[in-house]
Amino acid sequence: MAQTAPLLASLSSSTVTSLRDREWEERERSYHDTAIAELNSLVRKYNLCGSSSILFSRHRTRESLP
């Protein structure tokens, strides 16, 4: 893992974008949507005892990536 950190840090956003696998993203979309819905459900449940927080969104998270 220590060997990959410098490599990852050296990647530009255009390189990362070019390496994306659109077919995999489409194939796994349902899984990720379900996982995010479960995560948000847990966040809402825990927020009953604490302060409010921002819920997760696959679309918003995806847009924040390079």
Q: Is residue 55 part of a domain?
A: yes
Q: What is the pTM of this model?
A: 0.53
Q: Does residue 14 belong to any structural domain of this protein?
A: no
Task: Extract the tokens encoding 53.
Answer: 């927080």
Provide the number of structural domains found in the chain: 1
**Is the model's pLDDT at 64 over the cut of 60?**
yes
pLDDT at 52 over 70: no
Residue with tokens 């990536």: 65
Residue 13 domain-assigned (yes or no):
no
* Average pLDDT across the chain, whole number: 81
Residue 10 counted as domain residue: no
How far is the C-alpha of 39 from the C-alpha of 46, rounded, in Å?
11
More confident residue, 64 or 20: 20
Query: CB burial class (10 A; 0-12, 13-18, 19+) of residue 17?
Result: exposed
Residue 37 structural domain = 22-66
Q: What is the pLDDT of residue 27?
A: 95
